Homo-oligomer: A and B are copies of this chain.
Amino acid sequence: MSDVKTRPPEAAKRGRPRLDELTTSDLESIPALETIIGYRLRRAQLYVFQDFIESFTRMKLRPAEFSVLSVMARRPGLKQTEIAEELGIKRANFVALMDSLERRGLAERRKADTDKRSHSLHLTPEGVKFVRKMMAVWTAHEERLVEKLGGPEERDRLIELLDRIVARD
C-alpha cells in the first residue's frame, strides 16, 4: 500500500540491502570495521579515556594535566619545551595548561638563571600532595583495566604490541 514505484518486493522492507545500486559484488569483500586496526585502536582508546576522565572528574584533572604532573613529579626541573615535546604537546598549547596548574597552586615556573628565556618546572609542596592522591585514583583505574585484560602479563603483551606500532625505524 506504500510502495508506489516498481521495485523488487523484498527491497521494500527497509534495512535489507538493495542490490540495484550498481552491483556491489566485489564490494562484498570490503573489510568490516571490526577488522581494522585503527578503528579498534580508537574505540579502545576512547573507552580507556572515558574511564580515566570519569575517574578524575572529582579532582578536576584531565589526561594531559595528569601526564604533565607525572613528568614533573619524576623529573623536576625540566623546561617547558622539554616536557611538551616529550608528551607530544605543542609548546604553544602547553602555556595555558601550565597556567592552569600554576593558578591552582600545584606547579610553578622558576626562572632558570643559566638561561633567562626558559622556565624550569616544578611541583609545589601542595602539588606533591595532590600527585599522591592522583596516583591513588590512577591505580584503581589501571587495576580495573588490567583485570579486564586478564592480568598483568596481558597488559605487558598489549603494551609490547603498541610499542611495535609506534617504534620508528
Check A27–B131 contact: CB distance below 8 A.
yes
A9 within 8 A of B: no
Q: How many copies, total?
A: 2
Residues of chain A from 107 to 160 with CB closer than 8 A to chain B in the complex: 112-115, 118, 120, 122-123, 125, 128, 131-132, 135, 138, 141-142, 145-146, 148-150, 154-155, 157-159
Chain B residues near A131 (CB-CB < 8 A): 27, 30
Closest residue on chain B to residue A5 by CB atoms? B113
Check B157–A157 contact: CB distance below 8 A.
yes
Q: How far is the CB of A128 from chain B (nearest CB, A)?
A: 5
What CA separation (Å) do A4 and B110 show in the bound complex? 14
Q: How many residues of A contact B (CB 8 A)?
A: 82
Q: How far is the CB of A156 from chain B (nearest CB, A)?
A: 9
Contact with B along A15-50 (1 / 0, CB 8 A): 111100110101110111101111111111111110
Q: How far is the CB of A134 from chain B (nearest CB, A)?
A: 9
